[in-house]
């Protein structure tokens, strides 16, 4: 008969299971507590990250501002009249309404739900204000939401009306400028010094006069209405929008004056656009892939801009913004996964130590049971039932606690811990029971003994080689592939199977390092023993002898080195992010405080700077003219970098006395340029358009462009990807004196000094920026996880040390008791015990932080921490040596405490009992 | 032989409490052992042999009674005093040898000499002598794992003799050895008692071993029941 048919099922002996459980309740509860605590962490972290991911998506979209808007353009229907002229389309505003409705319908329900109600904007071309010497521009703008445009109060005059009373009229193409009425904001009207009924002196790019009349002066009912953000010049003059030193004004069109605006310009010059701004509060991480995909589809389905029809032409950076958010979240998830993998690895090792301790305590009972005839399957079944119930229950408690704290917990990460808890004890216990009934005497034949030794060494070498190969493969994968999920159509943003290896790189690296140490430690201890044998100190000999006896034990050393190394790694991650945020804040603000002076107050900037410099606690004040999206031409392209015109010497001093990176190249822009009329400039660009040696032109209104020569690389500046830095004096010599609009201030009194500046200016404080970055959802989440992981790993290390000491205590005190029979004094016995315990602890305390630092150095690049810190480049690993010292000291202190505690516990044991127990 | 006993045990009682149960391991044991003799302590398992040896060696304290070794009242010594006693006057040989596995045979033998702060030269000389005495001069550099059980026990005996003790206590020293090896170990003990002048108190189950002893003390249920074998002994056990 088939032996499988006759084999009986294991029959656990329940009284034994209960008895062992009662006897070892403490050790079992400790195991359960470890599993529950780590299950709580491993269950809660993915859920917390998911919640942080939603916040991060919303935060990123908010920060992106207009870049995340979805825009759609469409050409107008032709206005050719029946007699060869242009026809005034009186229903033009209704046409815009139809266009907006058509665009909204095309969006589809998902995008529609994620976007705010649309606002249609009609812009005229940029006109030049011809009155006065200052470069000023003017633009006609029409705004229309679902109901009306943004509400205004006419404080003088009235809303713009039609130019002619007739509804339908045809005008010749080459007729005089068609009149159009606009309203002006109070600020614009004051700056232009014009009022109702006045004609604004403007010309188009071809120098043709335009007949733009002011019907009235308005005051916005709500200046925070989102519609105004699409045309801020409708509220107040906007500096720099059309080039360095220019100021843009805008005139508000009404439904009635819109048809006239079309006739006032060439047929295609009036452009209509519908703006959909995202509603950040309704955006979720889950929806990002779908929304980004739909935006891409809309853009792909857009009609060609060259085709003269009324098809919709979509334009948006929302897909890029959402993709960037997803990338940032994926990076944070991967960083969290790396930290969690470290915690789980150490937990598994600590659980193996706990199982080892439990089985050592149970060895007499298990051996006796086996010798009395208990079958191994029965014993194994008893042990696995106990450990499975314990592990699953503990994990369930941990996950339940996690669920109470945050909904949507994940159990995936708890699997290794539960498996280790369920399997380790039964495996060790069954081996012990099997050994009890096996003749394990050493063979008399030396060749047989050598064979057994070689087999054991081969087995160990195979395991070690497997770990080393896995670690190398993990690092190669990490560096070649990175940690971010590969973008694909089915990308769910979850961590996929192909990421298991790179995510485990740090943990595998630590294990590989610990295995190397494990190989070296016995040799080191044997060397110490040889040295001590030459000494006259008996305690050193016995301590070293005990250490040499136990130095080959793998589990304690692996657990201790892993815990300290991974805790140190987590500390490096946390410190690097924290320091990166500080650097990022310096980079964003450029000083302790920055004043962005409004255009009205620009003239007062030098005096303001002097006043601030005299304030108490102010160390340095640097003024500059900073123009975002300045128009600069290369030989073939128009670029829009950030142009910084600054007093180079003062700027260099600022860089030298702050954590901002020094820029030795700045010295080059105070020297004469390569050509007689070239102004030297430093340049930086993300895509290589701006390189050293490039010739640039800075256009001016009514004057020849200023030639710039890129002579070096500009420092990273305020997070801008493209930067051009020019010396203020050199630019003034070339004919363009700077109008400073930015004041950088350093010193402890900087914040107070700029807050009391008394001019119209935006105040940006480094402390505020840093605070905002620190509380950003993903950054705060990863930082918190890094510190928590470090604390948990340290706690696991201390627990591992205690468990390892407890597991070897019986054997250690047997030996010490035998030494006591030779005359060793009780207090000397403690030194011998310390001598045994200290080597692996010292090795872990020294090598752990070094491994952590080394692994951080090797992996911080692929970890993409810059995505959290907002730095331009990957941050260098910040090594918190004093925290490393704390980790080491904690471990050494615990080891130092173990001996007296163990000694106090053993004091009650009579020597005779210890010897009797030891056989 | 000296008329003054090296070991004097008087009225020793030892009780162990196991939950509600009280076990009387020793019930008023008294006896003397003359210096330079080899005494076999025999009895069934649980009869109190090991308890008596532990009490004599200061590894355990009696509930009542006194133990004098070479004139020192063992029962009145504190821990340091007991350590000194074990360093200078009493040494042990255990059934499971108790050698330090990473030290060579010579280094194991030298262990008590290190504790006694003997100079390296003297230590080396003494170790060489003792290994010669136990027949292991050629195995000085071998570690315990490289030695047979009998050889390990010989190393243990050499170690026990290293500090020139007055009293050697051996608790079933042949318990883990086969009969032939056990006999050779007992013969060795017999030999060192004569050559080193040490007094030996050896617990054993083996009747053959008893034949080598000067005297046999039989212990039964905590009481002594002495029968003399081998060479006559002048001391008389106290029935008390």
Question: In this predicted complex, what is the ipTM?
Answer: 0.86
B124 touches chain A (CB under 8 A): no
pLDDT reported for residue A215: 94
CA A103-A109-A110 angle, 5° bins: 110
| Chain A nearest C-alpha distance from B61 (Å) | 9
Please determine, for residue B53, whether its predicted confidence score (pLDDT) is greater than 60.
yes
Which of these, A329, A287, A280, A407, lies nearest to A778 by C-alpha position? Answer: A329
What CA dihedral angle connects A179, A184, A188 and A193, to 10 degrees?
Answer: 60
Phi, psi at A543, each rounded to 5°: -60, -45
Q: Which residue has the higher pLDDT, A749 or B20?
A: A749
Average pLDDT in chain B: 83
Least confident of A515-529, A575-589, A691-705, A767-781: A691-705
Domain assignment present for B159: no
What is the token pair recorded at A901?
Answer: 């505690």
pLDDT average, residue stretch A36-62:
88
Domain assignment present for B32: yes
pLDDT reported for residue A908: 63
Domain assignment present for B16: yes
Cβ pair B83:A826 closer than 8 A: yes
Spatial separation of the C-alpha atoms in residues B33 and B40, rounded to whole Å:
11
pLDDT band at B238 (very low <50, low <70, confident <90, very high): very low
Beta-strand runs (E) in A97-167: 119-123, 127-129, 136-144, 152-157
Please determine, for residue B18, whether its predicted confidence score (pLDDT) is greater than 60.
yes
Residue B83: its chain A contacts at CB < 8 A? 820, 823-826
Provide the domain limits for residue B222: 7-99+165-228
Q: What is the DSSP letter of A244?
A: T
Record the pTM: 0.81
Spatial separation of the C-alpha atoms in residues A33 and A30, rounded to whole Å:
5
| B61, closest residue in chain A (CA to CA) | A910
Phi, psi at A699, each rounded to 5°: -70, 150
> Is the separation of the CB atoms in A585 and A769 below 8 Å?
yes
> Is the separation of the CB atoms in A121 and A142 below 8 Å?
yes
The 10s digit of each residue's pLDDT in A179-215 is 999 999 999 999 888 899 999 999 988 888 899 999 9
B89 touches chain A (CB under 8 A): no
Determine what percent of chain B is predicted with pLDDT higher than 90: 10
**Residues in chain A whose Cβ is within 8 Å of chain B:** 526, 529, 533, 536, 538, 541-542, 545, 548-549, 815, 818-826, 910-912, 915-916, 918-919
B87 touches chain A (CB under 8 A): yes
Q: What is the DSSP letter of A615?
A: S
What is the token pair recorded at A348?
Answer: 């598994």
Spatial separation of the C-alpha atoms in residues A477 and A862, rounded to whole Å:
10
Domain assignment present for B51: yes
Q: Which residue has the higher pLDDT, A280 or A606?
A: A280
CATH classification at residue B210:
3.40.50.300
Residues 6+ apart with CB under 8 A from A199: A211, A212, A213, A214
pLDDT average, residue stretch A110-126:
90
pLDDT reported for residue A2: 55
Cβ pair B111:A820 closer than 8 A: no
- The number of residues in chain B equals 240
Spatial separation of the C-alpha atoms in residues A885 and A892, rounded to whole Å:
10
Spatial separation of the C-alpha atoms in residues A359 and A353, rounded to whole Å:
10
Of the ranges A181-185, A319-323, A477-481, the best mean pLDDT one? A181-185
Domain assignment present for B132: no
pLDDT band at A5 (very low <50, low <70, confident <90, very high): low
pLDDT reported for residue A708: 87
Q: Cα(first)–Cα(last) distance of chain A, in Å?
A: 46
pLDDT reported for residue B231: 43
What is the token pair recorded at A124?
Answer: 């005229």
SS3 B35: coil
Residue A831: its chain B contacts at CB < 8 A? none
pLDDT average, residue stretch A445-473:
88
Domain assignment present for B63: yes
Among B80, B88, B103, the residue with its CB nearest the CB of A545 is: B103
Q: What is the DSSP letter of A81?
A: -
When divided into structural domains, chain B yields a total of: 1
pLDDT reported for residue A173: 82
In DSSP notation, A496-550 reads PGGGHHHHTHHHHHHHHHHHHHHHHHHHHHHHHHHHHHTSS-HHHHHHHHHHHHH
Spatial separation of the C-alpha atoms in residues A505 and A566, rounded to whole Å:
12
Spatial separation of the C-alpha atoms in residues A682 and A717, rounded to whole Å:
12
Residue A542: its chain B contacts at CB < 8 A? 100, 111
Cβ pair B102:A823 closer than 8 A: no
Domain assignment present for B75: yes
Average pLDDT in chain A: 85
pLDDT average, residue stretch A556-565:
95
Residues 6+ apart with CB under 8 A from A653: A620, A622
Residue B98: its chain A contacts at CB < 8 A? 818, 821
Spatial separation of the C-alpha atoms in residues A356 and A808, rounded to whole Å:
10
The 10s digit of each residue's pLDDT in A804-833 is 999 888 888 888 888 888 888 888 888 888
> Is the separation of the CB atoms in B139 and A588 below 8 Å?
no
Among A545, A820, A826, the residue with its CB nearest the CB of B100 is: A545
HSE (CB half, 13 Å, CA atoms) of A458?
6
Q: Which residues partner with A638 through β-bridges?
A: A633
Domain assignment present for B194: yes
pLDDT band at A757 (very low <50, low <70, confident <90, very high): low
């Amino acid at each position: 008969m088939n032996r499988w048919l006759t084999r009986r099922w294991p029959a656990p002996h329940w009284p034994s299971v209960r008895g062992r459980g009662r006897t070892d309740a403490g050790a079992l509860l400790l195991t359960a507590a470890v599993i529950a605590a780590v299950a709580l962490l491993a269950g809660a972290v993915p859920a917390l990250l998911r919640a942080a991911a939603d916040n991060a998506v919303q935060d990123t979209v908010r920060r992106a501002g207009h870049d995340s808007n979805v825009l759609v353009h469409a050409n107008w229907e032709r206005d050719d009249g029946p007699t060869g002229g242009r026809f005034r389309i009186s229903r033009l505003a209704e046409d815009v309404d139809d266009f907006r409705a058509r665009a909204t319908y095309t969006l589809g329900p998902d995008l529609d739900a994620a976007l705010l109600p649309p606002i249609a904007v009609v812009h005229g071309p940029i006109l030049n204000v011809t009155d006065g010497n200052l470069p000023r521009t003017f633009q006609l703008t029409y705004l229309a939401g679902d109901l009306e445009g943004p509400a205004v109060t006419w404080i003088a005059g009235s809303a713009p009306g039609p130019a002619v009373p007739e509804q339908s009229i045809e005008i010749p193409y080459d007729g005089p400028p068609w009149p159009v009425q606009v309203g002006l904001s109070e600020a614009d009207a004051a700056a232009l010094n014009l009022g109702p009924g006045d004609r604004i002196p403007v010309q188009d790019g071809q120098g043709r006069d335009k007949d733009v009349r002011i019907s009235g002066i308005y005051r916005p009912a709500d200046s925070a209405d989102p519609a105004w953000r699409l045309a801020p010049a409708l509220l107040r003059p906007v500096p720099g929008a059309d080039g360095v030193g220019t100021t843009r004004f805008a005139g508000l069109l009404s439904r009635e004056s819109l048809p006239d605006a079309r006739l006032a310009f060439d047929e295609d010059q009036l452009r209509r656009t519908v703006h959909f701004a995202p509603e950040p509060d309704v955006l979720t991480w889950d929806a990002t892939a779908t929304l980004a995909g739909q935006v891409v589809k809309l853009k792909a389905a857009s009609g060609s801009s060259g085709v003269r029809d009324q098809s919709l032409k979509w334009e948006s950076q929302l897909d890029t913004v959402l993709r960037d958010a997803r990338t940032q979240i994926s990076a944070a998830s991967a960083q969290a996964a790396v930290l969690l993998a470290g915690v789980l690895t150490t937990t598994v090792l600590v659980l193996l130590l706990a199982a080892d301790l439990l089985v050592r305590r149970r060895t007499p009972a298990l051996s006796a049971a086996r010798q009395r005839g208990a079958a191994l399957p029965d014993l194994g079944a008893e042990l696995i039932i106990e450990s499975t119930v314990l592990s699953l229950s503990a994990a369930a408690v941990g996950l339940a606690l996690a669920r109470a704290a945050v909904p949507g917990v994940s159990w995936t990460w708890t699997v290794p811990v539960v498996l280790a808890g369920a399997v380790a004890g039964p495996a060790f216990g069954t081996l012990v029971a099997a050994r009890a009934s096996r003749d394990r005497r050493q063979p008399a034949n030396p060749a047989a003994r050598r064979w057994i030794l070689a087999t054991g060494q081969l087995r160990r070498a195979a395991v070690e080689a497997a770990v080393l190969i896995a670690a190398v493969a993990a690092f190669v994968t990490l560096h070649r592939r990175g940690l971010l999920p590969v973008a694909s159509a089915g990308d769910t943003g979850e961590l996929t199977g192909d990421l298991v290896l790179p995510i485990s790189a740090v943990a595998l690296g630590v294990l590989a390092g610990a295995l190397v140490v494990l190989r070296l430690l016995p040799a080191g201890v044997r060397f110490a023993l040889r040295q001590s044998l030459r000494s006259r100190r008996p305690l050193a000999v016995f301590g070293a002898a005990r250490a040499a006896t136990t130095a080959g034990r793998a589990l304690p050393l692996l657990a201790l080195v892993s815990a300290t190394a991974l805790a140190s790694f987590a500390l490096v991650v946390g410190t690097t992010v924290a320091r990166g945020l500080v650097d990022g804040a310096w980079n964003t603000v450029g000083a302790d405080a920055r004043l962005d002076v409004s255009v009205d107050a620009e003239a007062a900037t030098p005096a303001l700077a002097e006043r601030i410099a005299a304030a108490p606690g102010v160390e340095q004040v640097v003024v500059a003219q900073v123009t975002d999206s300045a128009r600069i031409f290369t030989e073939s392209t128009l670029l829009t970098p950030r142009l910084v015109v600054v007093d180079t010497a003062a700027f260099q001093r600022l860089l030298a006395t702050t954590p901002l990176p020094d820029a030795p190249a700045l010295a080059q822009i105070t020297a004469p340029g390569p050509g007689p009329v070239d102004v030297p400039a430093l340049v930086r660009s993300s895509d290589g358009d701006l390189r050293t040696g490039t010739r640039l032109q800075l256009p001016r209104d009514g004057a020849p462009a200023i030639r710039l020569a890129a002579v070096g690389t500009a420092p990273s500046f305020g997070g801008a990807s493209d930067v051009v830095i020019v010396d203020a004096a050199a630019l003034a010599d070339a004919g363009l004196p700077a109008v400073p609009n930015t004041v950088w201030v350093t010193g402890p009194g900087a914040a107070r000094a700029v807050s009391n500046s008394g001019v119209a200016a935006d105040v940006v404080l480094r402390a505020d920026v840093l605070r905002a970055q620190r509380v950003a959802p993903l950054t705060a989440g990863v930082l918190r996880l890094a510190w928590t992981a470090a604390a948990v790993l340290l706690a696991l290390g201390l627990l591992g040390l205690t468990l390892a000491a407890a597991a070897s205590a019986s054997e250690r005190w047997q030996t010490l008791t035998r030494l006591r029979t030779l005359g060793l004094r009780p207090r000397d016995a403690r030194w011998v015990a310390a001598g045994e315990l200290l080597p692996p602890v010292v090795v872990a305390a020294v090598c752990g932080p070094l491994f952590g630092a080394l692994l951080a150095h090797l992996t911080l690049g692929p970890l993409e921490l810059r995505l959290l810190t907002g730095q331009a480049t990957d941050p260098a690993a910040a090594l918190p040596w004093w925290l490393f010292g704390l980790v080491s000291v904690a471990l050494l202190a615990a080891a130092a405490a173990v001996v007296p505690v163990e000694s106090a516990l053993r004091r009650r044991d009579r020597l005779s009992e210890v010897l009797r127990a030891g056989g | 032989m000296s008329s003054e006993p090296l070991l004097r045990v008087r009225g020793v009682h030892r009780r162990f409490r196991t939950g509600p149960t009280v076990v009387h391991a020793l019930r008023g044991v008294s006896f003397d052992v003359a210096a330079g003799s080899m005494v076999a302590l025999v009895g069934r398992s649980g009869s109190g042999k090991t308890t008596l040896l532990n009490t004599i060696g200061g590894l355990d304290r009696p509930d009542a009674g006194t133990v004098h070794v070479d004139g020192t009242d063992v029962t009145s010594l504190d821990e340091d005093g007991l350590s000194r006693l074990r360093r200078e006057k009493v040494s042990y040989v255990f059934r499971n040898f108790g050698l330090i596995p990473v030290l060579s045979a010579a280094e194991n033998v030298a262990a008590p000499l290190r504790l006694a702060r003997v100079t390296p030269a003297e230590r080396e000389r003494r170790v060489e002598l003792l290994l010669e005495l136990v027949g292991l001069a050629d195995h000085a550099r071998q570690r315990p794992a490289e030695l047979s059980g009998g050889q390990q026990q010989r190393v243990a005996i050499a170690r026990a003799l290293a500090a020139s003790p007055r009293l050697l206590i051996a608790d079933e020293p042949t318990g883990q050895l086969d009969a032939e090896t056990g006999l050779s170990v007992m013969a060795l003990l017999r030999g060192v008692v004569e050559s080193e002048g040490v007094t030996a108190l050896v617990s054993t189950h083996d009747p053959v071993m008893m034949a080598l002893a000067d005297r046999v003390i039989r212990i039964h249920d905590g009481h002594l029941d002495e029968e003399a074998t081998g060479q006559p002994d002048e001391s008389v056990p106290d029935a008390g």
